Structure 1
Amino acid sequence: MADKPLTPLLDTVAAPADLRALPREHLRQLADELRAEVIDAVSVTGGHLGAGLGVVELTVALHAVFDTPHDRIIWDVGHQAYPHKILTGRRDRIRTLRQKDGLSGFTQRAESEYDPFGAGHSSTSISAGLGMAVASELQGTPRNVVAVIGDGAMSAGMAYEAMNNAGAMDARLIVILNDNDMSIAPPTGALSTYLARLVSSPAYRGMRETAKTVTKKLPQIFYEPARRTEEFARSFFTGGTLFEELGFYYVGPIDGHDLDSLLPILDNVRDAKEGPILVHVVTKKGKGYGPAEDSADKYHGVSKFNVITGAQAKAVSNAPSYTAVFAESLIQEAAEDPRVVAVTAAMPSGTGLDKFAEIYPDRIFDVGIAEQHAVTFAAGLASEGMRPFCAIYSTFLQRAYDQVVHDVAIQHLPVRFAIDRAGYVGADGPTHAGNYDAAYLGAIPGIVQMAAADEAELKHMVATATAYDNGPIAFRYPRGDGLGVDMPKRGEILPIGKGRIVRQGATIAILSYGTRLGEVLAAAEKLAALGLNPTIADARFMKPLDEELIARLATSHDVLLTAEEGSIGGFGSHVATFLASNGLLDGKLRFRPLMIPDRFVEHSTQADMYADAGLDRAGIVATALATLGYDEAAMVAALAQV
Structure 2
Amino acid sequence: MNEGSSRLLDTINSPDDLKKIDSEFLPQVCNELREFIIDALSCNPGHFGASLGVVELTVALHYVFNTPYDKIIWDVGHQAYGHKILTGRRDRFYTNRKFKGLSGFPNIFESEYDAFGVGHSSTSISAGVGIATAASMRGDDQQQVVAIIGDGAMTAGMAFEGLNNMSALKSNMTVILNDNNMAIDPNVGGFSEYLVDIATSGTYNKLRSEAFKALEKMKLAGPRSKEMITKLNNSLKNLLTKQTNIFEGLNIRYFGPVDGHDVQHLTRVLSDLKNIKGPKVLHVITKKGKGFKFAEENQTAWHAVGDKFDKLTGELLKSNTSSVPKPPKFQDVFGQTIVELAEKNEKIVGITPAMPSGCSLNIMMEKMPDRAFDVGIAEQHAVTFSAGLAIAGYVPFCNIYSSFMQRSFDQVIHDVALQKLNVVFCLDRGGLVGADGATHHGVYDLSFFRGVPNLVVSSPMDEIELRNLMYTAQLPDKGPFSIRYPRGIGSNIDWQQPMTEIKIGTGRKLKDGKDLAVLSIGPVGVKAGQVIAKIERDNLTIAHYDMRFVKPLDEALLHEVFQKHKRIVTIEDGTVVGGLGSAVLEFMADNGYRARVKRLGVPDEFIEHGTQTELYGVCGFDKEGIEKAIFELLES
Query: Is the 1:185–1:253 Cα contact (8 Å) retained in structure 2?
Result: no
CA drift at 1:192: 7.0
Query: Is the 2:570–2:600 Cα contact (8 Å) retained in structure 1?
Result: yes
Query: Is the 2:176–2:283 Cα contact (8 Å) retained in structure 1?
Result: yes
Counterpart in the other structure of 2:220: 210
Counterpart in the other structure of 1:401: 409
Q: Distance in 2 between matches of 1:54 and 1:560?
A: 52
Residue 313 of structure 2 corresponds to residue 309 of structure 1: yes
| Structure 2 SS opposite 1:592 | strand
The Cα offsets for residues 489-530 of structure 1, whole Å up to 9 and x where unpaired, read as 332111111111111111111011011111111111232048
Look up the equivalent residue of 1:166 and give its one-letter code. M
Query: Is the 2:230–2:248 Cα contact (8 Å) retained in structure 1?
Result: no
Residue 255 of structure 2 corresponds to residue 251 of structure 1: yes
1:313 to 1:240, Cα distance in 2 relative to 1, 3 A? farther
Q: Distance in 1 between matches of 2:604 and 2:485?
A: 21
Q: Distance in 1 between matches of 2:278 and 2:574?
A: 45
Counterpart in the other structure of 1:636: none
Q: Distance in 1 between matches of 2:493 and 2:538?
A: 27
Query: Is the 2:326–2:493 Cα contact (8 Å) retained in structure 1?
Result: no
Look up the equivalent residue of 1:308 and give its one-letter code. L
| Structure 1 SS opposite 2:602 | coil
1:98 to 1:213, Cα distance in 2 relative to 1, 3 A? closer
* Percentage of pairs with the same residue: 45
Long gaps (5+) in structure 2: 182-191
Counterpart in the other structure of 1:220: none
Counterpart in the other structure of 1:370: 378
Counterpart in the other structure of 2:294: 291
The Cα offsets for residues 262-315 of structure 1, whole Å up to 9 and x where unpaired, read as 12111110111x210000000000001000000000000102211111122344
Query: Is the 2:457–2:552 Cα contact (8 Å) retained in structure 1?
Result: yes
1:32-71 matched pairs, under 5 angstroms? 32-71=31-70
Look up the equivalent residue of 1:117 and give its one-letter code. F
| Structure 1 SS opposite 2:370 | helix
Query: Is the 2:328–2:493 Cα contact (8 Å) retained in structure 1?
Result: no
Counterpart in the other structure of 1:276: 279
The Cα offsets for residues 141-176 of structure 1, whole Å up to 9 and x where unpaired, read as 320000000000000000010100110111101000
Look up the equivalent residue of 1:210 and give its one-letter code. L
**Which stretch of the first structure deviates more once superposed, 184-193 or 14-23?**
184-193
Query: Is the 1:192–1:254 Cα contact (8 Å) retained in structure 2?
Result: no
CA drift at 1:616: 1.6
- Alpha-carbon RMSD across the aligned residues, in angstroms, is 2.3
| Structure 2 SS opposite 1:252 | strand
Residue 126 of structure 2 corresponds to residue 127 of structure 1: yes
Counterpart in the other structure of 1:570: 579
**Which stretch of the first structure deviates more once superposed, 237-246 or 595-604?**
237-246
CA drift at 1:470: 3.3
Select which of 347, 353, 363 maps to 2:361.
353
1:322 to 1:200, Cα distance in 2 relative to 1, 3 A? farther
**Which stretch of the first structure deviates more once superposed, 334-343 or 516-525?**
516-525
Query: Is the 2:348–2:396 Cα contact (8 Å) retained in structure 1?
Result: yes
1:553 to 1:73, Cα distance in 2 relative to 1, 3 A? same
1:147 to 1:314, Cα distance in 2 relative to 1, 3 A? same
The Cα offsets for residues 297-344 of structure 1, whole Å up to 9 and x where unpaired, read as 000010221111112234446110000001111110000001000110
Counterpart in the other structure of 1:591: 597
**Which stretch of the first structure deviates more once superposed, 99-108 or 176-185?**
176-185
The Cα offsets for residues 334-376 of structure 1, whole Å up to 9 and x where unpaired, read as 0000100011001111111001111110001111111001000
CA drift at 1:69: 0.9
Counterpart in the other structure of 2:150: 150
1:354 to 1:84, Cα distance in 2 relative to 1, 3 A? same
Residue 468 of structure 2 corresponds to residue 460 of structure 1: yes
1:211-610 matched pairs, under 5 angstroms? 211=221, 228-233=231-236, 241-272=245-276, 274-303=277-306, 304-316=308-320, 318-529=326-537, 531-567=539-575, 568-585=577-594, 589-610=595-616
The Cα offsets for residues 433-466 of structure 1, whole Å up to 9 and x where unpaired, read as 0000000100101111110101111111111111
Query: Is the 1:197–1:264 Cα contact (8 Å) retained in structure 2?
Result: no
Query: Is the 2:26–2:264 Cα contact (8 Å) retained in structure 1?
Result: no
Q: Distance in 1 between matches of 2:615 and 2:7?
A: 39
**Which stretch of the first structure deviates more once superposed, 130-139 or 146-155?**
130-139
1:302 to 1:214, Cα distance in 2 relative to 1, 3 A? closer
Q: Distance in 2 between matches of 1:347 and 1:158?
A: 18
| Structure 2 SS opposite 1:467 | coil
1:37 to 1:69, Cα distance in 2 relative to 1, 3 A? same
Q: TM-score, with normalisation over the residues of structure 2?
A: 0.92
Counterpart in the other structure of 1:100: 99
Look up the equivalent residue of 2:287 and give its one-letter code. K
1:188 to 1:375, Cα distance in 2 relative to 1, 3 A? closer
Residue 630 of structure 2 corresponds to residue 627 of structure 1: no
Tell me how many residue pairs correspond in the alignment. Answer: 613
Q: Distance in 1 between matches of 2:74 and 2:280?
A: 17
CA drift at 1:44: 1.2
CA drift at 1:414: 0.9
Q: TM-score, with normalisation over the residues of structure 1?
A: 0.91
Query: Is the 1:61–1:262 Cα contact (8 Å) retained in structure 2?
Result: yes
Query: Is the 1:551–1:584 Cα contact (8 Å) retained in structure 2?
Result: no
1:230 to 1:357, Cα distance in 2 relative to 1, 3 A? closer
1:209 to 1:398, Cα distance in 2 relative to 1, 3 A? farther
The Cα offsets for residues 85-104 of structure 1, whole Å up to 9 and x where unpaired, read as 11010000111110001111
Q: Distance in 2 between matches of 1:26 and 1:235?
A: 40
Q: Distance in 2 between matches of 1:187 and 1:231?
A: 13
| Structure 2 SS opposite 1:369 | coil
| Structure 1 SS opposite 2:358 | coil
CA drift at 1:134: 0.7
CA drift at 1:189: 8.8
Q: Distance in 2 between matches of 1:375 and 1:97?
A: 34
The Cα offsets for residues 93-145 of structure 1, whole Å up to 9 and x where unpaired, read as 11111000111110000111110101000000000001000111111232000
The Cα offsets for residues 564-622 of structure 1, whole Å up to 9 and x where unpaired, read as 1111101111111111100112xxx2222212111111100001111121112221121
Query: Is the 1:193–1:261 Cα contact (8 Å) retained in structure 2?
Result: no
**Which stretch of the first structure deviates more once superposed, 69-78 or 485-494?**
485-494
Q: Distance in 1 between matches of 2:538 and 2:91?
A: 48
Query: Is the 1:200–1:265 Cα contact (8 Å) retained in structure 2?
Result: no
Query: Is the 1:13–1:87 Cα contact (8 Å) retained in structure 2?
Result: yes
Q: Distance in 1 between matches of 2:443 and 2:224?
A: 59
